[in-house]
Chain A
């Protein structure tokens, strides 16, 4: 459980020379009833971990695709509590690590300590909080450390080399290297500096580095993965689930890993 499970799972895949592929899904998009099916399907496809997004009314780090998915989820009256309960209900059926991606306010309202307890109950192994930079993370670090839940830090193209050093050394599970100066959403191409950025981050990081934001094809996944350890794919997966194209998800993951 927790950080250790995440470390072991990623290690195992890396020892098999796999490109790590972490799909993102929006919990409650289409209703919470599909969560179990989607997670087990992604596990089956070969996901290295699954990032489960919690909808928020004001997702400033997200582009239109995930914003809309969040809206659809909130229209289904999805709450953080309900997602945690749902995840707890089938934790024995999962082997793949689960990472929750949530903006800080729903966590803060839930109460950081109770939230961390509920994460343990729900079998959540790691957390990504996109609006909690180094300067504010003390708000959650003790609660998470006590329960050995990984806090995955994000590095950005704008981060100085000193900040990347700190982020990489604090990050648990893996380091999330954001590959665009911008919000989430499908991109057809990357700035040329992304390659050197990923190589530099990779060099500085004691934990695996996953590139994310904008990745949408297996070619991109392979290319970016070649500079680090793998990718996180959000908007594309969200779109494909929304359109019911699950077969394409499988193809994308299998061609990427």
Chain B
């Protein structure tokens, strides 16, 4: 049996990953890598992390048997990994608590973050409030409009939200400005990156902190049923909930893994965020990965109804897992996601985040090819409270 040991010492997942950053940031990345390596081998750090995961975030989250959805779809037994039940309403806080503790360990008192849907921003603002860190969050103008409530939440938590007008005013532009802010304030500021993207060691650190999702899922299903699931589905923006869910299953080859990207207005339009459908490697935000870009290497805008999936790149590890075929990447359109959001709300009484609704929508398709002896786990990465206003508008326009 081969053991999966990605990334290598240079932060490579096969040909992907690496650290393509200005020299000014290199020392901070090296420091972070060292601090992280020491922290995870320090029982006191691990204990503190677990304390907050349990007592503050509310882990472990249930692996809920969705009986109604199972009956409705008439296929496999369906389980929902309830990341929506975490404090602040999404998986994002699994990572921010870990990185905030690292920030303190590195003797830094300030934090910068980017946010798309606002969930990562809220999760960062929350742990900064908890641990007494100063917090600046960059958010695209368009996303601030789509996710007003989360902007207010961050401010209520004491963070400063800075609006980004460049480009399409979405996640990519927020990352650019967060990186520029970090370059300028790197001596006393840590960048809490919100997904498995960016330069090494971020894709590894974020994956590791998020892998609590997959570890719990594995234990829970083994305990309930004595065997591993047949398939696991997660949505992919940058890909942190998906990597966190998939990572502990990578060597369990019998478990099929599906990553669901945002199909926006459809793959036949150029308004989508499905990066892995037509892989096109390049370098953005410090990492080599597949991108939406033109033939001259200019990055193109991504489109998705869901602010959290609206990103023209994807974590380098996903690019690698796509190449090896270990994970199958598929795409779900805006319309399909909205329908799935309504459907889960009505069958299970759970309003999923628009991001997570992409995973639900694909589960509905996959269920048709599976039978009742099989089991399917869906990562319900977040709850839909933040999206309710937007969904109301979308449905009224129909």
Are A and B physically bound partners?
Answer: yes
Q: 19 A-B contacts, Cβ less than 8 Å apart?
A: A57-B298, A57-B299, A58-B176, A60-B285, A61-B183, A63-B180, A80-B297, A104-B20, A105-B282, A105-B299, A108-B297, A109-B295, A109-B297, A133-B19, A135-B26, A156-B26, A157-B24, A158-B28, A158-B186
Most buried by A among B27, B283, B299: B283
Size range of the chain B interface in the assembly: 35 or more
Are B23 and A167 in touch, CB under 8 angstroms? yes
Q: Which A94-108 residues have a C-beta within 8 angstroms of B? A: 103-108
Interface centre among A61, A80, A178 (most CB of B within 10 A): A61
Question: Judging by beta carbons under 8 Å apart, are A135 and B10 in contact?
Answer: yes
A132 contacts which chain B residues (CB < 8 A)?
Answer: 20
Answer yes or no: B120 CB below 8 A from chain A CBs.
Answer: no
Considering only residues 41-86 of chain A, those with a C-beta below 8 Å from chain B are 56-61, 63, 67, 74, 79-81
B22 touches A154 (CB 8 A): yes
Question: Complex: how many Å from CA A58 to CA B178?
Answer: 12
Chain A residues near B282: list those with CB within 8 A: 105, 108-109
Q: A131-B22, A156-B26, A158-B27 are in contact. List 12 more A-B contacts (CB 8 A).
A: A58-B167, A59-B176, A60-B22, A104-B283, A105-B283, A106-B297, A108-B281, A108-B282, A131-B20, A133-B19, A136-B19, A178-B23
**Assembly CA distance A130 to B298 (angstroms):** 16
- From B26, B172, B184, name the one whose CB has the most chain A CB atoms within 10 angstroms: B26
Chain A residues lying within 8 Å of B22, measured Cβ to Cβ, are 60-61, 130-131, 133, 154, 156, 178
Determine how close the nearest CB of chain B comes to the CB of A212; give it in whole angstroms. 12
Instruction: Determine whether B293 belongs to the interface, using a CB cutoff of 8 Å to chain A.
Output: yes
Does residue A163 face the partner (Cβ distance < 8 Å to B)?
yes
A139-173 to B contact mask, C-beta < 8 Å, 1/0: 00000000000000111111110010001000000
Contact (Cβ within 8 A) B296 A181? no
B binding-site residues for A, Cβ under 8 Å? 10, 18-28, 166-167, 172, 176, 179-180, 183-187, 281-286, 293, 295-299
Q: Do B176 and A156 touch (CB < 8 A)?
A: no
Interface residues of B: mostly helix, strand, loop or mixed?
mixed
Residue in chain B with minimal CB distance to A68? B166
Please indicate the chain B residues that have their CB under 8 angstroms from the CB of A105 in the complex.
282-284, 293, 297, 299
- Which interface class (under 10, 10 to 19, 20 to 34, 35 or more) fits A? 35 or more
Question: Can you name the residue of chain B whose Cβ is closest to the Cβ of A62?
Answer: B180
CB <8 Å contact, A160 and B27: yes
- Checking A81, A107, A136, A183 against B183 with a beta-carbon cut-off of 8 angstroms, the contacting residue is A183
- A60 touches which of B26, B183, B281 (Cβ 8 Å): B183
CA separation between A155 and B23, bound complex, in Å? 6
Contacts of B293 in A (CB 8 A): 105, 109
Q: Whose C-beta in chain B lies nearest to the C-beta of A213?
A: B24
Residues of A within 8 A of B23 (CB): 133-134, 153-156, 158-159, 163, 167, 178
Instruction: For the complex formed, measure the closest distance between the CB of A165 and the CB atoms of chain B, giving whole angstroms.
Output: 13
A contact residues around B296 at 8 Å (CB): 79-81, 106, 109-110
Contact A58 B297 (CB under 8 A): no
Q: Do residues A182 and B297 form an inter-chain contact, with CB atoms below 8 A?
A: no
Given A56-B298, A58-B299, A156 and B24 contact (CB-CB distance below 8 Å):
yes
